[in-house]
Amino acid sequence: MAKPVILRDLRGVIEALDVLRPYSLTPTAHAAGAQRAAWRNVLRDLRGIEAVLITIDAFKPGILSALESAAIEELQVERGDPPTEITALISRYCRRKEPLR
> CB burial class (10 A; 0-12, 13-18, 19+) of residue 72?
exposed
Beta strands in 16-94 (DSSP E): none
pLDDT in the model for residue 59 = 92
Please give the pLDDT value at position 26: 57
Looking from the CA of 13 toward its CB, the CA atoms found within 13 Å total 14
- Residue 32: its pLDDT value, please? 61
CB-based contacts of 55, cutoff 8 Å, min separation 6:
none
pLDDT block averages, 10 residues each, the chain of length 101: 81 86 60 72 92 91 87 79 74 63 48
Predicted pLDDT at 47: 94
pTM of the entire structure? Answer: 0.60
